[in-house]
Chains A and B, each alone.
Chain A
């Protein structure tokens, strides 16, 4: 790599960093004030890009049309932000924090289909900007003029936002709210107006970023999730709530990616390292390293959640198992046993899928509910378990051994990931789990000789005796019921109680002699084992396996299922899995815009049952 190419790649990295920073700055503002993990943030960027492209297409204002489009996207973003806050989020401030995540995920689904309906399926490439359409010759290389413009936008927004936060009354209120919402409210800061304002501002920034990207990349329907994932990474790596931190993180990631591409394939001894391939997960690798060294991000401060939040109160009420629970369990078992005689074979296929989703979600619930440990990367254990099983099956090992290998591999992956993660807490921990999951995904995705790469592995069928749909259902249902019962027993037994103690108060738990980190790590291992077991059976139920099994959407599915079902009730994951899987299956079959329909259902369910479907009524009574 020559000095000239190094310099040009540096500029490339900085230009990309600008867009990334704008989206992340919006996200960090929203999170800082409202503590909401906003999945719909990427949708704002996507809608901003589409709206801008629609405005540009009208040629309004002639040569100025691009700038008018930017203003339009900014305004539309602000409006959409207010709608999101008022329509969905505002109704959920009192709910468990993670529930808003589920709701915004529903909004993401709706937004994508809305864009498809409004703007059509074709990718929309924006025009080049008059005056910035060419490139500048810097002697040994050329730089597009528009890149130079982007290069300036990032720092400008950084300065403007820093001034806003540090020097204005509005900024002061934001900082107060970020510090302690209750106290700020007590001192006369109107949290409602403030929330509306940050949602408007944050969403407008995201929409602006989407519109600004238009001259470089087309507006596409699939851009929402990657953008929000990148924004999460930048936000967390920079330190939550820190705008300069987000800027530095964006620059680091942008430059690292550009340099990986610039390096190309390099021979190291007898090996050739293809650096461009690393870009698949570069941002996650960088974040994992940063969080391993600095658990609160580059410029973040440790945020302590006050112990007196509604969430903490709600968590305190985990009723011991009673006869009612036993009856419910019996009812579920009877229903499962009766299913083959009352429904067709496909119902058994669907039920198998629901049961596996329920077991997977229940393993997450042990972390999320009992342990208060948020994992965004739980699919890693599921997927690694599934791959271990598939590889054993390919090697013609006995069926039982292959299934067991799945559970062991899931536990092993959780043991490694957990060891790093238990040092962190809150969203930092969540993002580190996500980073590990993405790294695992990119390894599986590219390790062709073992995992089959992006194609995955095929031909993983159970032995002849279990091959038919009814036989496999009987096997899977039995296994899941036993595993589920074991998981519930663990969660309500001595270990579960210890884990709950670490969740409710780290300090008090430590004071009575509980090794907090070790307990949480064990929770990871147990959860990983059950997730891996679910993955193992999943592999045999599908006959094939591909990297999607450990991708982000799979982790999000599990989160949505746990929260939809109810974070505390032991049967929450079953209800959540049944509703979610059944909805997705029947909507996709009957309705062209099934994503939007699923999103609407999720939002509606979350608004109707803020404690999860299983928690309806119970919690409200207790608190009152």
Chain B
């Protein structure tokens, strides 16, 4: 780990010195590296790969990119301080990164106050582009709403009446639950009903929760659990027969970050959103995959794609603006097209949400590992509410 980091730093230093003629463009990046290392270590690698590819091709506007990266410690208050440091002391051109919704929203608000572009990489909260959306903030990842919408068609098709919903009790889980219920009620038969279990994030009492769900006798299950909570839920659920003859939908469940730790105990036949890196054969992804594996001798996680696409977004915005001026950058971000490993995405002018999608499929176990099968790429642009709805949501702010 340390070795690799030193290696990367050396490579970075070499590249920077090679471009010593031009002043680098400084990108301010902050994320909760110590809080969510399993997602963010690959994310950092993805960023470094994108940066080095861009710099090897001559940089942007003839200048190399430099990423000034900081740990935001995961607390919004600290993140705001870190962002202030990046802006006022490091004089960065733009801000990017963040993981948790509350940190993302806090930094977004600071970006508005300090009038600087902020590319929110990972926060999934719908509010960052809708209720609390502002002129300076754009978001890459498919939101909670969008990813839920990607699962709803299959869920509605089943015609099940009684749904059990289990979710981590904070913004992400709550909005996933709200979105799911609203979209199901709109599509599904009359008399649909929901039983809910809200669990404290990272502290699920899996035995009790599973037992309560078994006792509730649902027809199907919708979960937005991830990480250690998901692992515990899966194991207890198998032991207590919760998943027998019940279709299960799990948001994010196919992301390698959360599927891989389950190894051969990964659930079978669940509908999930995720990232089947081993099976995607588009040219864009193949190129990314081989470059990533060659560089890091490891396979990419979803975090890798997010980090990579975030830096590509920054580069594309600067190139389109032809400048590092904040106002011009913000203007350039509107309807900006960016090539990512998932294909070309567009940052919509209407709500600053990118159309980056997610892969939707069913889980299976292959060679002692959890994988996604029967997957399809769900393009983000197809899973957003109507423009009128979006305008109304943003106007509410």
List residues of chain A with CB under 8 Å of any chain B CB: 1-2, 4-5, 8-9, 12-13, 15-16, 113, 116-117, 121-125, 128, 134-135, 141-142, 144, 147, 216-218, 220-223, 226, 257-258, 261-262, 264-265, 274, 276-277, 279-280, 344-346, 349-350, 353, 445-446, 448, 453-456, 458-459, 461, 467, 469, 538, 542-549, 553, 584-585, 588-589, 592, 594-595
Contact = CB atoms under 8 A, between A and B. Distances in A.
Nearest 6 pairs between A and B by C-beta?
A: A121-B37, A454-B170, A346-B89, A544-B106, A261-B208, A12-B207
Contacts of B88: 344-346, 349, 469
A18 to B, nearest CB: 12
Contacts of B231: 123, 125, 217-218
B212 A15 contact: no
B62 interface: no
A458 B132 contact: yes
B121 to A, nearest CB: 17
Q: Pick the most buried of A5, A123, A134, A142: most chain B CB atoms within 10 A of its CB.
A: A123
22 contacts: A5-B212, A9-B208, A16-B205, A123-B228, A125-B231, A142-B240, A262-B211, A264-B212, A265-B196, A276-B198, A277-B198, A279-B200, A345-B89, A458-B108, A469-B88, A542-B77, A542-B80, A542-B106, A542-B110, A543-B109, A544-B110, A548-B76
A474 to B, nearest CB: 16
Interface string B31-43: 0011101100100
Nearest to A445: B170
Given A264-B195, A349-B84, A469-B88, A125 B261 contact: yes
B241 A458 contact: no
B81 A455 contact: no
Given A276-B199, A456-B105, A261 B212 contact: yes
Contacts of A459: 109, 132
A48 B113 CA distance: 46
Contacts of A128: 235
B323 interface: no
B169 interface: yes
A350 B195 CA distance: 47
B174 A453 contact: yes
B77 A121 contact: no
B49 to A, nearest CB: 18
B324 to A, nearest CB: 19
B228 A585 contact: no
Contacts of B80: 542-544
A147 B207 contact: yes
A542 B207 CA distance: 40
A455 B127 contact: yes
B194 to A, nearest CB: 10
B256 to A, nearest CB: 10
B208 A222 contact: no
A258 B205 contact: yes
A544 B85 CA distance: 17
Interface in B5-34: 5, 33-34
A420 B32 CA distance: 37
Given A222-B202, A544-B76, A144 B38 contact: no
Contacts of A144: 207, 236, 239-240
Given A262-B211, A588-B71, A594-B71, A226 B202 contact: yes
Contacts of B113: 461, 467, 543
A543 B134 CA distance: 14
Contacts of A2: 215
Given A261-B212, A454-B102, 5 more contacts: A9-B208, A216-B236, A257-B205, A262-B212, A459-B109
Contacts of A122: 38, 260-261
A599 to B, nearest CB: 12
B101 A454 contact: yes
B206 A589 contact: no
Interface in B214-257: 214-216, 227-228, 231-232, 235-236, 239-241
Contacts of B326: none
B56 interface: no
A469 to B, nearest CB: 7
Contact of B206 (A141, A217, A448): A217
Contacts of B199: 276, 279
A349 B85 CA distance: 8
Most buried by A among B35, B106, B212, B231: B212
A594 B35 CA distance: 12
Contacts of B89: 344-346
A147 B240 CA distance: 12
Contacts of B337: none
A121 B303 CA distance: 13
Given A345-B88, A546-B102, A588-B70, A261 B77 contact: no
B196 A276 contact: yes
Contacts of B227: 123, 220
Nearest to A219: B228
A536 to B, nearest CB: 14
B209 to A, nearest CB: 6
Nearest to B201: A454
A125 B106 contact: no
Given A5-B212, A459-B109, A543-B106, A121 B38 contact: yes
B208 A589 contact: no
B335 interface: no
Nearest to B264: A127
